[in-house]
């Protein structure tokens, strides 16, 4: 598909309770590369194979959770067009100036019906990428440090009014629905997976009474073997693991879920369906949700549905 609008997930800014502990976890256990600190104390990270300066930002706070999730758009004219489209549809938009985040240009911020802040931006400085843009090696030394994901891949957000969010993402931002789960009435969509690319999803939503909640941020690995290795690393570091290694029925991705020291859930993920916008979305009934979440065991993990930050 021609990627002319929103390109991909850009970064997530998470709240953490103990910044030093979080930096150690994301740097040494998850294996992300720290790329800087700013004047407010935020810590910036990227995955080893990402080319932009950052994809994860950590901010010390009293409670865990997500401040915002951001998408990179094609260019500045696209950013201006999408800002105009949002305003025309009655969405309250705030401009965040260049430099408010390290290495990041002007951002457009708005709140969606689920109570989450979404941001769009066109410019982010490239990260140091030595030896990888000409005759590159298949991996670098950083790819062997910790779990070492390739990239930050997607997020799942919990909040009310997910079908209103669906309309905003599909009608204004150009996403398309790839899969959904209907509630027990058999008609209402209660969980949604949306893509702006050919991935199984770039963002997902689940209906939840509390607004603005984080279910997880996901990090991509490149094989099932790397997922199993991630499980070893998490166990060796006594990280709380909630589910996996297993396969989802929904998206067909292979996965492990765990929690960072502040209680934010993260996922290591590989595989998954490739999607195209001309394809009809895949429907899952409420009765088949257990196999949608954990296909081998066909099991509902209670905390997976109820614990958010």
pLDDT digits (tens, 9 = 90+) for 126-145: 998 766 888 888 888 888 99
**Interval 121-130: pLDDT, tens:** 999 999 987 6
pLDDT the model gives residue 47 = 97
Sequence-distant (≥ 6) Cβ neighbours of residue 289 within 8 angstroms: 181, 300
Residues in the chain: 309
In this prediction the pTM is 0.97
Sequence-distant (≥ 6) Cβ neighbours of residue 48 within 8 angstroms: 31, 32, 33, 139, 140, 142, 143, 145, 148, 149, 150
Task: Of 111, 109, 87, 85, give the one whose Cα is nearest residue 97.
Answer: 109
Bridge-based pairing of strands 151-159 and 203-207 is parallel
pLDDT the model gives residue 232 = 97
**Interval 266-295: pLDDT, tens:** 999 999 999 999 999 999 999 999 999 999
What's the burial of 245, exposed, middle or buried (CB within 10 Å: 0-12/13-18/19+)? middle
Pick the CATH number of 151-306 from 3.40.50.720, 3.10.180.10, 3.30.930.10, 3.40.50.300: 3.10.180.10
What span, in angstroms and rounded, lies between the C-alpha atoms of 237 and 215? 22
pLDDT the model gives residue 253 = 96
Sequence-distant (≥ 6) Cβ neighbours of residue 260 within 8 angstroms: 16, 22, 25, 26, 266
pLDDT the model gives residue 1 = 54
pLDDT the model gives residue 142 = 86
301 pLDDT tier (thresholds 50, 70, 90): confident
> What does the longest C-alpha to C-alpha distance in the chain come to?
55
Half-sphere exposure of residue 298, counting CA atoms within 13 Å on the CB side?
A: 3
Tell me whether the CATH fold assigned to 6-143 matches the one assigned to 151-306: yes
**Interval 44-98: pLDDT, tens:** 999 999 999 999 999 999 999 999 999 999 999 999 999 999 999 999 999 999 9
What is the CATH number that goes with domain 6-143?
3.10.180.10
pLDDT the model gives residue 132 = 80
Task: Of 266, 217, 261, give the one whose Cα is nearest residue 244.
Answer: 266
Tokens at residue 163, please? 């079908």
pLDDT the model gives residue 190 = 97
**Interval 102-114: pLDDT, tens:** 999 999 999 999 9
Catalytic residues, which ones? 154, 201, 216, 248, 257, 267
Q: What average pLDDT does this structure show over 140-160? A: 95
pLDDT the model gives residue 141 = 84
**Interval 160-203: pLDDT, tens:** 999 999 999 999 999 999 999 999 998 899 999 999 999 999 99
Mean pLDDT over the full length of the chain: 95
What span, in angstroms and rounded, lies between the C-alpha atoms of 269 and 259? 14
Phi, psi at residue 206, to the nearest 5°? -130, 135
What span, in angstroms and rounded, lies between the C-alpha atoms of 298 and 252? 13
**Interval 34-45: pLDDT, tens:** 999 999 999 999
Q: Where are the domains of the chain?
A: 6-143, 151-306
């Amino acid at each position: 598909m021609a990627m002319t609008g929103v390109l991909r997930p850009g970064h997530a800014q998470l709240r953490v309770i103990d910044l030093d502990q979080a930096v150690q976890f994301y740097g040494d256990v998850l294996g992300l590369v720290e790329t800087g600190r700013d004047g407010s104390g935020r810590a910036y990270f990227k995955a080893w194979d990402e080319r932009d300066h950052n994809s994860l930002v950590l901010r010390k706070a009293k409670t865990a959770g997500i401040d915002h999730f951001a998408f990179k758009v094609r260019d500045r004219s696209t950013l201006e067009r999408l800002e105009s489209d949002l305003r025309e549809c009655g969405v309250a938009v705030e401009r965040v100036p260049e430099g408010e985040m390290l290495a990041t240009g002007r951002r457009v911020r708005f709140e969606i019906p689920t109570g989450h802040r979404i941001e769009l931006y066109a410019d982010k400085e490239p990260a140091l990428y030595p030896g990888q843009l000409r005759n590159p090696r298949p991996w670098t030394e950083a790819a062997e440090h910790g779990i070492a994901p390739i990239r930050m891949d997607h997020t799942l957000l919990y909040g009310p009014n997910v079908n209103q969010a669906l309309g905003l993402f599909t009608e204004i931002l150009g996403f398309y629905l790839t899969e959904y789960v209907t509630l027990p009435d058999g008609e209402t969509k209660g969980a949604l997976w949306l893509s702006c690319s050919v991935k199984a999803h770039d963002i997902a939503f689940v209906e939840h009474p509390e607004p603005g909640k984080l279910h997880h941020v996901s990090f991509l690995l490149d094989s099932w073997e790397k997922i199993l290795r991630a499980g070893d690393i998490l166990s060796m570091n006594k990280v709380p693991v909630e589910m996996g290694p297993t396969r989802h029925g929904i998206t067909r991705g292979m996965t492990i879920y765990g929690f960072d020291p502040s209680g934010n859930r993260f996922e290591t993920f590989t595989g998954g369906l490739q999607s195209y916008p001309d394809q009809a979305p895949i429907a899952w009934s409420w009765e088949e949700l257990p196999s949608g979440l954990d296909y081998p065991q066909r099991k509902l993990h209670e905390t997976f549905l109820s614990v958010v930050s």
